[in-house]
Amino acid sequence: MANHKIKVKVQGVEHEAEVESRLLLVHFLREVLGLTGTHIGCDTTHCGACTVLLDGQPVKSCTVLAVQADGREVMTVEGLEKDGQLHPIQEGFWQEHGLQCGYCTPGMMITGYALLERNPDPSELEIRQAISGNLCRCTGYVNIVKSVQYAAAKLRPSAE
């Protein structure tokens, strides 16, 4: 198995590592960098618990090789909080009870964050479409939608 030197920026900080060709991005994040907020919920690319941003786009990190992230930027759920302040998407899940077991939550929050970056005022249908690749076995999704709506309202300039 060949090894490769890679450089990946995670939450803006560059990390260099030597990794096997077959190492998945989710394992790189969790096991090499210790960022265990990104979860693994399946081995079939279905659940979305492993969702991170790769150059700003949500990807399922169990379906991306670490070497594919070479020279690119990753943001994980740990990157949402800034200077001890929760991001509005995190506040939304807190305020609207958008989780029960919490297993899907990191992926849901990253997907919700990415949606609001490209569409600050999504309809309920647009939110449901955006999270359609993220499975939750606990909540029934109603409060997850409300959590994203909370964040959208909080992020709108008029909310300040």
How many residues belong to the site for ligand FES (CB under 6 A)? 21
Instruction: Compute, in degrees rounded to 10, the torsion defined by CA atoms 145, 54, 83, 104.
Output: 40
Beta carbon of residue 68, minimum distance to ligand FES (angstroms, whole number):
15
Under the binding rule (CB under 6 A), the answer on residue 86 touching ligand FES is no
Under the binding rule (CB under 6 A), the answer on residue 40 touching ligand FES is yes
Binding piece for ligand FES, criterion CB under 6 A, among 29-37, 44-52, 81-89, 113-121:
44-52
Which of residues 71, 102, 120, 140 is near ligand FES by CB under 6 A?
Answer: 102
Partners of 5 in the β-ladder: 18
Which of residues 5, 7, 46, 97 is near ligand FES by CB under 6 A?
Answer: 46
